Amino acid sequence: MDGDRPTHELLVLPTIKTAADLKGKSVGLGSNEGTGGIVMRRILQAKGLNPDRDVNFISMGGEVRLQSMISGAIAGAMLSPPYTFMAADQGYRVFGRGRDYVRYLTEGIVTSESRIKQKRGTLVRFVRAWNRSAKFYKDNPSIMIPYVQKKFAVKDARLARLLYEDDAQTRVENGSLDNTAKSEVLETAKEILRVKSAPPSSQIFDFSLTEEAK
């Protein structure tokens, strides 16, 4: 498992100084039902706003959201890199960062119980290689930043560096989660999937492979 914090951020116009300034305004997001929508609701609630009453949600693509803020059509937008950096360059303010309010898995290794029993040794080696690659990624920015720039066709070297640094700091070194994190991840998953109950974490997470891979 690599990351347990979302990269989504709610950015607003410079004129939005307080939560009250956002009341009655329109904000853009990808989907009200998806992860971005959950992050948006958590941020607004933490700021004392009622997501269902105080703010108007408009669904639109990431680049369209930024352009809509520039044109003044919306007062804020839920964005993820690189649009977060591009919006900051335009002078827009960070109203809330998803990583401060929500925990969920951005990447992970998923398999079946039967495969764990049948191929445990292979899976342990895979996890070990996964963790080594994650460590290399974090320890070698001089190599990985040019790779990010080429991989995602980012012309601006500074933007590529910001993308890398933002991603690298959310990476989990040992590939496991503590009990609090497990509970938070499951609660977020329940909210996204709109289910009232979920299996116990012991039936979903198995970090014994990670322990063997150390």
Domain end call among 45, 78, 100: 100
Domain containing 15: what range?
Answer: 9-100
Considering the domain architecture, whether residues 120 and 194 belong to the same structural domain is answered as yes
Task: Provide the domain count of the chain.
Answer: 2
Q: What is the pLDDT of residue 182?
A: 84
Alpha helices in the chain (DSSP H): 19-22, 35-46, 62-71, 83-89, 113-118, 120-139, 141-151, 157-168, 179-193, 208-213
Q: Are strands 56-59 and 93-97 parallel, antiparallel or unpaired?
A: unpaired
The model's confidence at residue 2, banded by pLDDT at 50, 70 and 90, is: low
CA dihedral 60, 63, 65, 67 (to 10 degrees): -130
Q: What is the pLDDT of residue 73?
A: 95
pLDDT in tens, 98-142: 889 888 777 778 888 899 999 999 999 999 998 888 889 999 999
pLDDT in tens, 8-64: 899 999 999 999 999 999 999 988 777 888 899 999 999 999 999 999 999 998 789
Domain end call among 68, 100, 132: 100
Do the domain assignments include residue 72? yes
pLDDT in tens, 138-189: 999 999 999 999 998 888 999 999 999 988 887 766 677 778 888 888 888 8
Q: What is the pLDDT of residue 186?
A: 84
Considering the domain architecture, whether residues 126 and 43 belong to the same structural domain is answered as no
Considering the domain architecture, whether residues 129 and 203 belong to the same structural domain is answered as yes
